[in-house]
């Protein structure tokens, strides 16, 4: 190649003109290209996977609840008077029919005795007028009036007897009795607003639970479609201190109405309470057994993410080892897993480790996932 120099330029044999600096750069690039090694082939990222399995899946819901008495009776006076005696110890267990209070019976005893005398007089008069009527000695109206007076006197005696009995107040049910709101010597009135005491039956005891109406509808639909089996309706309680109550309970009923303020349905469970550990008004967590999904699928939580639409997604390796995106429909959280309703099938290889190294459509190298890692 013939080259000629003109000033700071180089003229090649082909007539091309280069600056000296440009020519040097071209030579350097050519030399570097001659000595460069071929780029190394990129290896597919190593990811951990789990094989999706189908299994019977017991379904349960942990719901807030509170205890309430099996039966409760507020003790109120049905006649007015002075409390002469109180016969119970506050906080103790009282039996049905046990004496609780004695109201001064004197005025009611007097009214009863007067009613007895009035009845005797009215009966005598009615009997006498009946004889006279048969002899046509009096008008029939007089006999009728005497008979009516007798019946009124009889009713008055019965009312006097009832009022006298009301002065002796007894327990209507067996249960724990509360503190008394009155002491001996206090004046009470018939049907007053304030109860004298309250008797609560606590063995067995109710636990009232609220469940979302949406959850209840989904559960009923799954039962009707045969996607889950029938529940034994057993309930387990967790107490405020985190301990589990020793006795399991049974679900009694679900309310037929939805609370418009909370959108919840009222459930009620029954528990035995032989030691009296559960008291009215305690807050508890109730785990309600709802049924069994015979074809349940679980997927690790750390293998499920969300796309920009908020949908749950997972990466699954196909038969060629290519990562594919699956859109999932999830149910409830069970331990460290999600219940998967749609999107995964038994045998799928779900990627759960090394997700940050994978993009959909890339080839991956699969190894069994190490437990306890993500």
Q: Is the pLDDT of residue 20 over 80?
A: no
Residue 68 burial (CB count, 10 A): 17
pTM of the predicted protein model: 0.63
**Nearest 5°: phi and psi at 4?**
-125, 145
Q: Is the pLDDT of residue 3 over 70?
A: no
Q: Is the pLDDT of residue 213 over 60?
A: yes
pLDDT tens-place string over residues 226-253: 555 455 567 899 988 888 999 888 877 6
**How high is the mean pLDDT of the chain?**
84
DSSP H/E element including 332: strand 323-334
Integer Cα distance of 224 and 77 in angstroms: 52
The answer to whether the beta carbons of residues 54 and 297 sit under 8 Å apart is yes
CA-nearest of 204, 212, 228, 221 to 289 is 228
Residue 144 burial (CB count, 10 A): 13
pLDDT tens-place string over residues 262-273: 777 788 889 999
pLDDT tens-place string over residues 88-130: 999 999 999 999 999 999 999 999 999 999 999 999 999 999 9
Q: What is the DSSP letter of 2?
A: -
**pLDDT for residue 261:** 75
**Burial readout 251-268 (b: 16 or more C-beta within 10 A, e: otherwise):** beeeeeeeeeeeebbbbb
Residue 166 burial (CB count, 10 A): 17
């Amino acid at each position: 190649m013939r080259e000629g120099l003109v000033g700071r330029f180089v003229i090649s044999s082909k007539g091309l003109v280069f600056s000296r600096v440009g020519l040097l750069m071209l030579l350097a690039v050519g030399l570097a290209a001659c000595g460069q090694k071929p780029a190394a082939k990129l290896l597919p990222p190593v990811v951990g996977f789990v094989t999706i399995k189908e299994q019977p899946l017991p379904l349960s819901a942990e719901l807030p609840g509170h205890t309430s008495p099996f039966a409760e009776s507020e003790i109120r006076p049905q006649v007015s008077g002075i409390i002469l005696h109180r016969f119970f110890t506050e906080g103790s267990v009282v039996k049905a029919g046990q004496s609780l209070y004695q109201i001064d019976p004197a005025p009611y005893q007097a009214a009863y005795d007067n009613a007895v005398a009035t009845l005797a007089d009215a009966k005598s008069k009615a009997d006498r007028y009946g004889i006279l009527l048969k002899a046509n000695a009096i008008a029939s109206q007089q006999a009728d009036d005497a008979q009516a007076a007798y019946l009124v006197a009889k009713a008055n005696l019965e009312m006097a007897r009832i009022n006298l009995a009301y002065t002796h107040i007894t327990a209507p049910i067996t249960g724990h009795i509360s503190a008394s709101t009155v002491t001996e010597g206090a004046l009470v009135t018939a049907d007053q607003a304030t109860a004298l005491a309250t008797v609560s039956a606590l063995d067995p005891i109710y636990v009232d639970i609220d469940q979302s109406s949406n959850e209840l509808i989904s559960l009923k639909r799954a039962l009707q479609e045969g996607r889950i089996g029938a529940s034994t309706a057993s309930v387990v309680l967790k107490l405020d201190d985190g301990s589990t109550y020793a006795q399991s309970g049974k679900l009694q009923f679900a309310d037929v109405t939805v609370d418009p303020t909370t959108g919840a349905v009222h459930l009620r469970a029954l528990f035995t309470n032989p030691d009296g550990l559960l008291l009215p008004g305690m807050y508890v967590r109730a785990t309600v057994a709802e049924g069994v999904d015979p074809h349940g699928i679980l997927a690790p939580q750390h293998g499920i993410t969300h796309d920009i639409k908020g949908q749950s997604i997972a990466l699954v390796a196909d038969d060629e080892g290519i990562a594919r995106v699956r859109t999932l429909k999830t149910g409830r959280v069970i331990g460290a897993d999600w219940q998967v309703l749609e999107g995964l099938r038994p045998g799928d290889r779900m990627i759960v480790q090394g997700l940050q190294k994978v993009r959909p459509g890339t080839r991956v190298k699969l190894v069994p996932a190490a437990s306890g890692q993500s």
